[in-house]
Structure 1
Amino acid sequence: MIRGIRPLLSGSTYSGMLFAFCGALASIPLLPFAMLPALAWPSAHYGTQAVLTLLVWAVLIGTVGLARTTRRALIACARRLLRLPLEPPPPAPASTPIPTPEVPTGVDRLRTPLWLLLHVALGWTGALVTGALVLVGLTLPVDWFRTEAGLSLFGRSVRPDDGWQSAAVALGCLLSAAVVCAVVANALRWLAPRLLGPSSAELLALAAEREQRLAERNRLAHELHDSIGHTLTATTIQAAVAGEVLSADPAAARAALRGIEESARAALEDLDYVLGVLRAEKPETAPHRTLTDLPELFDRLRHAGAVVEPELSGDLAQVQGTLSRAAYRILQEGLTNALRHGAGGPVEVRVAAGPDGLELGVVNRTGAGPDAGQGPGAFPTSGHGLPGLAERVRLLHGDFEAGPDGPLHWRLAVRLPIRVAA
């Protein structure tokens, strides 16, 4: 019993009915325009003019629903008055780094006009029925209908001298008005997600947008990890070298400090770019380092005291776009791991660009002795470096290998197909 009357006592029922009333009131300014065709046809039957007016009125209401701003306003009102967690409509296409869903077309565009028509129809029906019921419910107790025959309601005649019958009928009318409000509000609440909520096409577009944003953030995380991780490792080693040779070899110390400056400047450029994208700001310059920047990377490592033995073959300048940038970051991460976890000695770097694929390799020493390669820090197996590299290579449809190469060496080998170049 209590559960059955709970909707009649809920504030959301009457806020939903208010929403329906607003739809009915908003359609009134279109009524004079809908009457023009009927007025231009004075010889038509009254019923024909009425039907024509209703049809033109429905067309005008549906036309208003085609506007994108109409849907936004309806969703905002429905969320407020119907208390529904409706998703806001997709934003209009803009010149942003991440594409946004397009405006719905075809059948999807008819959902808002259909909602408007049903909204207005329910609003007028609810307004007329509840208005009549409330009017009767309020006038019966004060005997405004004083006639000898009384007032005929639902096949029964209620006379003014039957006070308890008048009160009972008045109460029934008021309860019936509340029931109508609940029915109208629940009907709108059922229709809103189906007609104002995102369509299947919009859900797919929003899911694709979220996936693109996630992929972009993951890419930025990789970029930041590779750049900042490499810079911190290189500058730590360069600072140690500068401190050791400051008195004995000032020139070498100055070279190490110069390497720290260059590494820090490059890392700041990457950091500014990443922060600009995360703040939804268009960065002025996007530092996209490619395979042609490898000599500069090798020089910074040599300033840090590392011995780099590069073996470059093929025309690296012909490797363009995403492939070249990804290859640079892969080698940078591999060299960073070699500096961080290696045991000194030369670091062999191999880059071979062929007609069908790009091969990358980094080999470094891990130490000497019977326990070489067995300690927790012997191989770069912890942290996010190798998993990040493996994910980057997987997205480029390449092959990734990393592990011991004999008892004293660690080897990173990557092969990327040329066809994925952007």
Structure 2
Amino acid sequence: MTRGFRPLLRGSTYAGALFAYCGALVSLPLLPFAALPALAWPSAPEGVRIVLTVLVWAGLIGVIGLARTTRRVLIACARRMLGVPLPDPVAESARSTAPGADRLRTPLWLLAHVALGWAGAQSAVLLVCAGLLLPGGWAGAEAGVSVRGWSLRPEHGWQSWAAALGCLLLAAVLCLAVTGALRRLAPRLLGPSSAERLALAAERERALAERNRLAHELHDSIGHTLTAATIQAAVAGEVLGADPEAARAALRSIEESTRAALEDLDYVLGMLREEQTGTAPPRSLADLPELLDRLRHAGAVVEPVLSGDFTRVRGTAARAVYRILQEGLTNALRHGAGGPIRVTVTATPDALRLSVVNRTGPGGDSATTAFPTSGHGLPGLTERVRLLHGEITAGPDGPDHWRLTARLPVRLPA
């Protein structure tokens, strides 16, 4: 039994009822404008003029509900006063393409809000007044309540107190009913519609895709830089006494590669914070010579074979090719067994083809223990290529070589 009375003791119940009553109060300034048509028709019966005033009043309330600002305010107030978890309205473009019935949900909510507010406020005021006036000791022996010919005048003191308590309890139950009705209506009328949910899902999908892209960018850039810097530091340490010039060249290469990695890191962090950063744009095929030079400074022998017009390869395809080559060369440095690394990139009018071939040691992966990895490199490349509707393969090429190949369908500008 106490569980049934528990909602009547919660402040959120009366906050929701107050929200409804405030909606009724805010609609009052529209009433004089709604009465103008009835005043202009004095010969009409009183009932017709009342109905006309109510209809015009409802129409004015509905028109206000069509404003986007009204929806934002109502959603914020419903979250605060009703405790209903409502998301913010979607972008205007998604709302403008929504069906007409969806755009009418806010006016319907506003009308229901005002109607419940007026009905609840009038009934609650009546019940509270009855609860205060019925006890005979407060207002004399003739105390009672009379509404449109119906009257309540208890003859005995205990009856008046029981009736007063019942009226106050009914007023509390009424607040609970009004709040419950608004809480049930809010998700249906103020929450996202089917079209808005699709727009929100698409927005979340775009955000997730962008985060994945940035994660790939960061993994490829930082992973390559750390691998190259580790090898270059080892080379510098070995030749420091015998060949100081070679050691200085290796250290300069470490400085250049780490600076490039810091630029990439700054770019990615700026994108995550949605800030305009002053760093360099994402890497592309124009940065390929610099990438190959860093590998040569690390002591690797790189044999590039480049054919086609790369100046016409731009945008996502150019960035993807650079990152694929970067990851392939990083894996060759980590897991290769020395020897030349053959890099082939071919640009044709309809596709970009690339491959990275390196020698492997006994067992095919001799350097894995020296350079432990997270295992995200090849899966990340596969996802990147599939998003561009391309093809990628990676695996042994003969008894002592490893080959990474990819094909990206592109349409080069004329």
Q: TM-score normalised to the size of structure 2?
A: 0.90
Does 2:67 correspond to 1:52? Answer: no
1:270-419 → structure 2 map (5 Å cutoff): 270-368=264-362, 371=363, 373=365, 377=369, 383-419=375-411
Q: Specify the alignment match of 1:191 in structure 2.
A: 185
Match of 2:108 among 96, 100, 114: 114
1:420–1:398 CA distance, 2 compared to 1 (3 A): farther
Q: Which moved more, 1:276-285 or 1:43-52?
A: 43-52
1:166–1:261 CA distance, 2 compared to 1 (3 A): same
2 CA distance for matches of 1:153 and 1:40?
Answer: 31
Shift of 1:284: 3.1
Shift of 1:165: 2.6
Q: Specify the alignment match of 1:129 in structure 2.
A: 123
1 CA distance for matches of 2:170 and 2:148?
Answer: 13
2 CA distance for matches of 1:157 and 1:109?
Answer: 46
2 CA distance for matches of 1:153 and 1:39?
Answer: 28
- The letter for the 1-side match of 2:13 is T
**Over aligned residue pairs, what C-alpha RMSD do you find?**
2.8
2 CA distance for matches of 1:13 and 1:307?
Answer: 75
For the Cα contact (< 8 Å) 2:334–2:371, is it kept in 1?
A: no
Shift of 1:334: 0.3
Shift of 1:168: 2.7
Q: Which moved more, 1:118-127 or 1:44-53?
A: 44-53
Q: Which moved more, 1:244-253 or 1:177-186?
A: 244-253
2 CA distance for matches of 1:147 and 1:238?
Answer: 103
Q: Which moved more, 1:302-311 or 1:62-71?
A: 62-71
1:46–1:8 CA distance, 2 compared to 1 (3 A): same
Q: Which moved more, 1:224-233 or 1:316-325?
A: 316-325
Shift of 1:46: 2.4
2 CA distance for matches of 1:381 and 1:80?
Answer: 48
For residues 34-93 of structure 1, the C-alpha deviation after alignment (integer angstroms, 9 at most, x for no partner) is 222323333333222222221221122112212222222212221222122222223567
Tell me, what secondary structure is at the counterpart of 2:326? helix
For the Cα contact (< 8 Å) 1:344–1:365, is it kept in 2?
A: yes
For the Cα contact (< 8 Å) 1:146–1:160, is it kept in 2?
A: no
2 CA distance for matches of 1:224 and 1:262?
Answer: 17
1:154–1:175 CA distance, 2 compared to 1 (3 A): farther
2 CA distance for matches of 1:26 and 1:184?
Answer: 17
Tell me, what secondary structure is at the counterpart of 1:79? helix
2 CA distance for matches of 1:158 and 1:56?
Answer: 36
- The letter for the 2-side match of 1:67 is A
For the Cα contact (< 8 Å) 1:341–1:380, is it kept in 2?
A: no
1:51-200 → structure 2 map (5 Å cutoff): 51-90=51-90, 101-102=94-95, 105=98, 106-142=100-136, 144=139, 159=153, 161-200=155-194
- The letter for the 1-side match of 2:403 is R
For residues 100-130 of structure 1, the C-alpha deviation after alignment (integer angstroms, 9 at most, x for no partner) is x555743222111110110000000001111
Q: Which moved more, 1:183-192 or 1:258-267?
A: 258-267
Q: Specify the alignment match of 1:29 in structure 2.
A: 29
2 CA distance for matches of 1:362 and 1:158?
Answer: 95
For the Cα contact (< 8 Å) 2:335–2:366, is it kept in 1?
A: no
1:348–1:136 CA distance, 2 compared to 1 (3 A): same
Tell me, what secondary structure is at the counterpart of 1:349? strand
Tell me, what secondary structure is at the counterpart of 1:351? strand
Tell me, what secondary structure is at the counterpart of 1:308? strand
2 CA distance for matches of 1:56 and 1:367?
Answer: 86
Tell me, what secondary structure is at the counterpart of 1:284? coil
- The letter for the 2-side match of 1:392 is R
2 CA distance for matches of 1:108 and 1:237?
Answer: 61
For the Cα contact (< 8 Å) 1:308–1:347, is it kept in 2?
A: yes
1 CA distance for matches of 2:371 and 2:275?
Answer: 39
Q: Specify the alignment match of 2:244 in structure 1.
A: 250
1 CA distance for matches of 2:372 and 2:336?
Answer: 9
For the Cα contact (< 8 Å) 1:90–1:206, is it kept in 2?
A: yes
Identity %: 71
1:278–1:172 CA distance, 2 compared to 1 (3 A): same
For residues 371-415 of structure 1, the C-alpha deviation after alignment (integer angstroms, 9 at most, x for no partner) is 554785499985211111111112111122111222211111112
Tell me, what secondary structure is at the counterpart of 2:4? helix
For the Cα contact (< 8 Å) 2:334–2:367, is it kept in 1?
A: no
Q: Which moved more, 1:162-171 or 1:196-205?
A: 162-171
